Amino acid sequence: MKRVGLVAHDKKKADLIEWSKAHADALRRHALYATGTTGAGIVAATGLKITLLKSGPLGGDAQLGAMIVEGQLDALVFYVDPLTAMPHDVDVKALTRLATLYDVLFAVNPATADAILAAI
């Protein structure tokens, strides 16, 4: 069982929810953590058991980052919207930096999320 973080920018939430629906059986084998709004959408659509953190702008991205630093997250699926400016861009960059620094499996789109899920 791996510990997997799930988060998506607003315009990518529906995509991550659809991906989660398609991969619910595989995700069910892991401990899942998600930022509040993203996680609530996934739970409603799939019934997966997910530990919900704060919404991203309210500290959820920072909570995921802290989990990475503490060695409590094995993989992060973060559907990024590259075309929309984020008011909490500093938090987003910090989370990306920590996932890279601590060598955590890190997916930013469906192709990399599929590869990571197949590997864990």
User: H or E element: which one contains 3?
Assistant: strand 3-8
For the stretch 84-115, pLDDT in tens is: 776 667 878 889 999 999 999 999 999 999 99
Instruction: Residue 72: give its domain's CATH number.
Output: 3.40.50.1380
For the stretch 18-55, pLDDT in tens is: 999 999 999 999 999 999 999 999 999 999 999 999 99
Question: Out of 10, 15, 25, 61, which one is annotated catalytic?
Answer: 61
The torsion of the CA quartet 112, 110, 94, 10, rounded to 10 degrees, works out to 180
Query: What is the predicted pLDDT for the residue at 85?
Result: 74
Reduce the secondary structure of 62-76 to three states and give it as a string. Answer: HHHHHHHHCCCCCEE
- 34 φ, ψ to 5°? -150, 150
Q: Is 82 exposed, middle or buried (0-12, 13-18, 19+ CB in 10 A)?
A: exposed
Give 57's pLDDT tier (boundaries 50, 70, 90): confident
For the stretch 5-22, pLDDT in tens is: 999 988 999 999 999 999
For the question of residue 91 being annotated catalytic, the response is no
Q: What is the pTM of this model?
A: 0.93
Q: How far apart are the two ends of the chain, measured CA to CA in Å?
A: 8
Domain containing 43 equals: 3-119
